[in-house]
Structure 1
Amino acid sequence: MSKKKVALIIGAGDCLGSAIARKFAQNGYHIVATRRRGDLDNLVTEIKNAGGVGEGRHSDARDEDEVRNLIADIEDNIGPIGACVFNVGGNVSFPLQETTTRVYRKVWEMCALAGFLMGREVITPMLKRGQGTIIFTGATASLRGASGYSAFAGGKHALRALAESMAREFGPQGIHIAHVVVDGLIDNPNTKDLFPDLFNQKPVDGIINPDDLADIYWDLHKQKRTAWTFEVDARPYSETF
């Protein structure tokens, strides 16, 4: 079994999730990075080339059995999970009357149900050790709904409520639960495709650098118990709010 603690990154996409994985790997954590589909080889190679230890798993965070088996396998065969980051997205935009039941349910499953399953399963081994960090990635939609974002806002509101409830339940037992509100565009191909006009309007340093954002996750994890942060909102200097 690895002697290093494990950092589990649920939703390790090509942007923020990968940046968080790299950050924790740089600081000595064995990385287990998951995503439902897509390439994880590049991330694992980056981590290993930088002298870190990591592996990728394809896993559907909405599937109860897959989440349960993932956590059990890590704890039994790799090492203790010291930090877990839930970074599943779900950002879609449809007028309300064009939002199908299927879309709304899928976004809720991605944002809220998956977060619940991950939180419920990973909290048990952390409680046995009396320590651990769980960080949920939120968005502007976690705090306010916008026109066309009923599904996304509903899912992210639910995720924030989950994080807040978990923080109040498990903080006194030694588990640090935090929620990061990402209020701004992150520099990655997906957001460029979704918001091309906004990208063209922003200054070069007016888009969130994922590596800079990953520093916040690491700082949250390293906070002392005497001064824990539950929620932090992050935005580039040029973002209006």
Structure 2
Amino acid sequence: MSRTETALIVGAGAGLSASLARLFASEGMQVALAARDTGKLTDLVDETGALPLKCDASRADDVKALFDRVKGSFGAPDVVVYNASGRYRAAVEDIEADKLEEALKITALGGFLVAQAAAIQMLARGSGSILVTGATASVKGLPGSTPFAMGKFALRGMAQSMARELAPKNIHVAHFVIDGGIASSRPAAVTDGGKDDRWLDPDAIAKEYLHIHRQNRSAWTWEVELRPWVEKF
């Protein structure tokens, strides 16, 4: 009998995280959802049967407790997705150091703490996938986006380094450049006929995450760039 897989989504909420939770649950996975505010996950938990867990990913003790709880409930996760981001934007002359520090803690430090904790448990088992959500700002800094780009560039560098270190140990680390707006986060992007494909469909993105997790290790991808058909390269 095959073992039931476990998925952990950190930084869970509406949009992509919700699509991932639904897809993973439909695949028969046990799903855990981590967020600073678990109250916003009530409907999603009711729909998917996921386990909601409170966690501030920028705090090492919170992350350790999160992984201990998931392991105690389901076993070590097979796939971990890091979706949390510090979305602080400001003109260069207006950037406040404390807000910048907080954004970097969420995006970069949190990503590291979660990936590290995932790697420790996956290495003990000998397999697993760590999937990290990036953005246009991961590879292209834009005006007013200095804090966001700093965090996302750091997250991408972390993922690339971990992919090279952990792949030979059967741990698949992949970074996703989400180069465009996600439809579900923009009410105007939904039309009478369904989702407007000028925006990324979160269900379509989720399928790519699952595809990367399921890849044969003889042909692993470390980075995926996803954009709607009208987005410029």
Q: What TM-score, normalized by structure 1, do the two folds share?
A: 0.89
Q: Name structure 1 gaps, 5 residues minimum.
A: 49-53
1:128 is aligned to 2:129: no
Q: Secondary structure at the match of 1:7?
A: strand
Deviations 1:74-104 (A, max 9, x none): 1123222100000112233210111100111
Q: Distance in 1 between matches of 2:59 and 2:21?
A: 22
2:150 maps to which of 154, 157, 161: 154
* Corresponding residue of 2:35: 35
Could you tell me whether the CA contact under 8 Å between 2:25 and 2:31 is conserved in 1? yes
Q: Secondary structure at the match of 1:13?
A: coil
- Tell me how far apart the structure 2 counterparts of residues 22 and 105 of structure 1 sit (CA, whole Å): 33
2:171 — aligned with what?
175
What residue number does 2:68 align with?
72
CA contact (8 A) 1:4 1:79 kept: no
By how many angstroms is 1:46 displaced?
Answer: 1.3
> Residue 174 of structure 2 aligns to a residue in which SS?
strand
2:134 counterpart SS class: strand
Equivalent pairs counted in the alignment come to 227
Alignment of 1:79-118 (within 5 A): 79-118=75-114
Partners of 2:196 and 2:40 lie apart in 1 by: 28
Is structure 2 residue 225 aligned with structure 1 residue 233? yes
Given that 1:7 and 1:31 are in contact with CA atoms closer than 8 Å, whether structure 2 keeps it comes out as yes
Query: For residues 84 and 117 of structure 1, what CA distance do their matches in structure 2 show?
Result: 12
Q: Which residue of 1 aligns with 2:141?
A: 145
CA positional deviation for 1:114:
0.2
Distance 2:173 2:67 in 1: 18
1:39 alignment partner, SS class: helix
Q: Cα RMSD over matched residues?
A: 1.8
1:207-231 residue CA offsets vs partner (Å, 9 max, x unmatched): 1111111001000000000000000
Cα distance between partner residues in 2 of 1:173 and 1:29: 23
> Normalising by structure 2, what TM-score?
0.92
- Identity value in percent: 37
Gaps of 5+ in 2: none
Deviations 1:181-200 (Å, cap 9, x if unpaired)? 000010134x56xxx7x999
Counterpart secondary structure, 1:185: coil
